[in-house]
């Protein structure tokens, strides 16, 4: 741990630069920087000790944690819940959903003194990590204080496991101290055990995202002309990453049909301005979804760029097709399940290792089709609209989601045994 602590201390200036250089970083975030060193948020004078602590890195993990939070509230009605996030967008999403009903602060940097101060302030009864968030100092300190460490929805690909094995001494020391791991697949489970996790404390279950994909939206988060909407077919490209937008714009160009409307939703909303610049360079007519604090899906242009979080569910609910981002680059993909509940035909690239099992199952059900080039994706879109039956796909999608429910309940049952 001495070498790890030295490395993290030396890395601190770069970590701070990364935080300050984010486009969504604001004046309010300057005042919150102390939270990343373990200090309590300004609005919280006294931490509510013996709380249940959940760490959800960003927007995706926050969404995944919603059913879990409700389940824990029901099981432990007298316990307060603390949720930490790493990103500004994750913090914004949490506040939008829960307001002040939960305690929230940023996760401190994994420095010994920051972790020490944070744990002294909150003294949680457990630490629940969503997805694969492994912080050696935090796990080590929780172990020394007899605070159970729990990893839910765990993912650990073969490539990631190989990287951890390069620092096997540290990895085995840390993974062996996690009191409960519930992974998303048998392969993930095997990789955790290879890295030192105790076999009797390591399980696999369906992704928590299946339980999070139950609720169907009622009402839209933006205005849209219903008459114009009836004459358009909406293609939503969700959670896109740099370089993917250019490919998708080419795919849209190949369609050469004014009845289509393309909606680009960058994974990180602050990138919307960069996507807008690409549009201007290509002399494309487009509009942002949010302009001057007004949310409007303007179908007069052929393209919309979504520049704020919180609208994706609404867009899925009125879309005709969905592309899942993070798949045309070696990123491993984003959440496939959000559009499935609306019965949408899905398209993606072939980099889906973050959702390998889910992607394969959706391909088998003919809900998902994959392409690697702009022309391939364009052809898939044409075929999906020509051949797909929305009713059939919706029934398939609902049956698929229903068959995978229950991981939240089973996870809570296991958590109860170690608290």
Share the mean pLDDT of the chain: 91
Residue-range domain boundaries for the chain: 22-207+406-418, 223-403
3-state SS assignment for residue 277: helix
Burial (0-12, 13-18, 19+ Cβ within 10 Å), 382: middle
Residue 383: how many other CB atoms lie within 10 Å: 12
For domain 223-403, the question of CATH label 3.40.50.2000 is answered with: yes
Q: What does the pLDDT average to over 289-303?
A: 91
pLDDT for 336 equals 94
DSSP 265: E
User: CA 48 to CA 121: how far, in whole Å?
Assistant: 8
CATH class of the domain defined by 22-207+406-418: alpha beta
pLDDT for 215 equals 66
154-202 tens-digit pLDDT: 999 888 899 999 999 999 999 999 999 999 989 999 999 999 999 999 9
User: CA 417 to CA 419: how far, in whole Å?
Assistant: 6
User: CA 419 to CA 126: how far, in whole Å?
Assistant: 7
Q: Do 22-207+406-418 and 223-403 show the same overall fold?
A: yes
User: CA 363 to CA 313: how far, in whole Å?
Assistant: 22
307-328 tens-digit pLDDT: 988 899 999 999 999 999 999 9
Burial (0-12, 13-18, 19+ Cβ within 10 Å), 98: middle
User: CA 138 to CA 145: how far, in whole Å?
Assistant: 11
pTM of the model: 0.88
Got the DSSP string for 133-167?
Answer: ---HHHHHHHHHTT--EEEEEE---HHHHHHHHTT
Number of H helices, E strands in the chain: 19, 17
């Amino acid at each position: 741990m001495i070498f790890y602590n030295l490395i993290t201390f030396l890395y601190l200036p770069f970590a701070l630069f990364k935080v300050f250089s984010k486009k969504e970083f604001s004046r309010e975030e300057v005042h919150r920087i102390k939270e990343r060193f373990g200090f309590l948020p300004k609005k919280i004078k006294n931490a509510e000790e013996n709380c249940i602590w959940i760490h959800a890195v960003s927007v995706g993990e926050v969404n995944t944690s919603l059913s879990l939070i409700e389940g824990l509230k029901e099981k432990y009605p007298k316990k307060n819940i603390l949720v930490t996030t790493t990103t500004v967008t994750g913090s914004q999403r949490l506040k939008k959903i829960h307001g002040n009903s939960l305690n929230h602060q940023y996760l401190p940097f994994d420095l010994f003194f920051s972790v020490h101060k944070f744990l002294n302030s909150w003294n949680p009864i457990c630490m629940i990590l969503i997805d694969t968030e492994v912080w050696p100092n935090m796990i080590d300190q929780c172990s020394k204080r007899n605070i159970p460490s729990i990893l839910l929805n765990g993912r650990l690909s073969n490539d990631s496991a190989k990287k951890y094995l390069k620092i096997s001494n540290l990895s085995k020391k840390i993974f062996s101290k996690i009191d409960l791991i519930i992974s998303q697949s048998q392969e993930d489970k095997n990789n955790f055990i290879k890295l030192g996790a105790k076999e009797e404390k390591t399980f696999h279950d369906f992704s928590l995202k299946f339980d999070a994909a139950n609720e169907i939206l009622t009402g839209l988060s933006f205005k849209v002309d219903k008459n114009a909407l009836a004459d358009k077919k909406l293609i939503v490209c969700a959670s896109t990453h740099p370089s993917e937008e250019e490919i998708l714009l080419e795919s849209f160009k190949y369609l050469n049909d004014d009845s289509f409307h393309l909606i680009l939703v960058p994974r990180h909303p602050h990138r919307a301005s960069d996507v807008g610049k690409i549009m201007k360079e290509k002399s494309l007519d487009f509009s942002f979804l949010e302009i001057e604090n007004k949310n409007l899906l303007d179908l007069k242009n052929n393209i919309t760029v979504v520049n704020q979080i919180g609208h994706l569910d609404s867009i899925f609910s009125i879309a005709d097709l969905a592309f899942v981002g993070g798949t045309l680059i070696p990123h491993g993909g984003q959440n496939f399940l959000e559009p499935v509940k609306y019965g949408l035909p899905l398209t993606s690239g072939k980099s889906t290792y973050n959702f390998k099992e889910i992607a394969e199952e959706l391909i088998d059900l003919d809900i998902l089709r994959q392409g690697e080039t702009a022309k391939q994706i364009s052809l898939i879109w044409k075929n999906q609209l020509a051949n797909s039956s929305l009713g059939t796909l919706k029934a398939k999608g609902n049956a698929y989601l229903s068959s995978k429910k229950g991981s939240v309940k089973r996870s809570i049952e296991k958590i109860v045994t170690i608290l």
